[in-house]
Structure 1
């Protein structure tokens, strides 16, 4: 697949394309909820969002967070990475991860961490293929404090 991809910092103007990929990722969210999430990311000094653009359409996005860790003090964590199904295996994910790595280095962060749901089998081959090492498996527990559901 030969396509021109540009990686840009995400903005509010990318909301519709980002939201479409949130739904493709399998999350139930309306555009207003996605908009509130995007606005919080854009206002956060610890987060960055990038979009992959092809033919004026958002075909992927990635979010990274500067995290505080007991082990290394500050690290970078990819908290979301989605590539549209119709452009997977075209290098879009690699370009988005490269943007995360470049941002992380510029912030003085020496490690990038990513967590992947066991159900996302495509990612379990992708991340090792670009140099990530599988280091542990964890369980995630959630407790709603206000009676709402995720």
Structure 2
């Protein structure tokens, strides 16, 4: 049976491992993950089977989210399910946990994003009830 629960600081290593698999180019570290897990405006949910982490969903509370009215909204920072467990409905269980947390915080909107070339990500968002509210290409310039 798969269970979903909110991660705590005690889950730092597990969350860090899953984050590294989701964002291999990210420069985060275990201390940074522990600091995030201690925040009230940030949540990580872990999907587990027999105590083994199968995936995670990260969400934050934000004061601006594209497509949402002014005020506090949620933002899905990332969602990841390990390769062997994909397409088993785990991401939807994680999304429900995020949505329940946001409702408990009094939030009525959830935003997210996906790279323009990530067609599986776009398909997942559409299949789980998200609607596209815009497209961007981000730029940076070293000064």
TM-score normalised per structure 2: 0.85
Structure 1 moving runs of 4+ over 6 Å? none
Please say if residues 9 and 38 of structure 2, whose CA atoms lie closer than 8 Å, have aligned partners that are also in contact: no
Q: Distance in 2 between matches of 1:86 and 1:34?
A: 26
- Give CA-to-partner distance per residue, 1:65-108, whole Å, 9 cap, x none: 11002842111001111111111111110011101110111111
- Return closer, same or farther for 1:52/1:23 CA change in 2, 3 Å cut-off: same
Q: Is the 8 A contact 2:36 2:42 kept in 1?
A: yes
Deviation of 1:29 after TM superposition, in Å, equals 5.2
Which residue of structure 2 aligns with residue 36 of structure 1? 31
Cα distance in 1, alignment partners of residues 140 and 51 from structure 2: 38
What does 1:109-124 correspond to in 2, within 5 Å?
A: 109-124=107-122
Give how far 1:143 is off: 5.7
- 2:84 paired residue number: 86
Unaligned runs of 5+ in 2: none
Alignment of 1:51-130 (within 5 A): 51-69=46-64, 71-130=69-128
1:148 corresponds in structure 2 to none
Would you say the 8 A contact 1:61–1:82 is kept in 2?
yes
1:25 aligns with 2:22: yes
Aligned to 1:11: 8
How far apart are 1:124 and its partner, in Å?
A: 1.0
For residues 142 and 9 of structure 2, the distance between their equivalents in structure 1, rounded to whole angstroms, comes to 29
Q: 2 CA distance for matches of 1:11 and 1:38? A: 10
Relative to structure 1, the CA distance from residue 120 to residue 18 in structure 2 (aligned partners, 3 Å threshold; closer, same or farther) is: farther
State the aligned residue count.
140
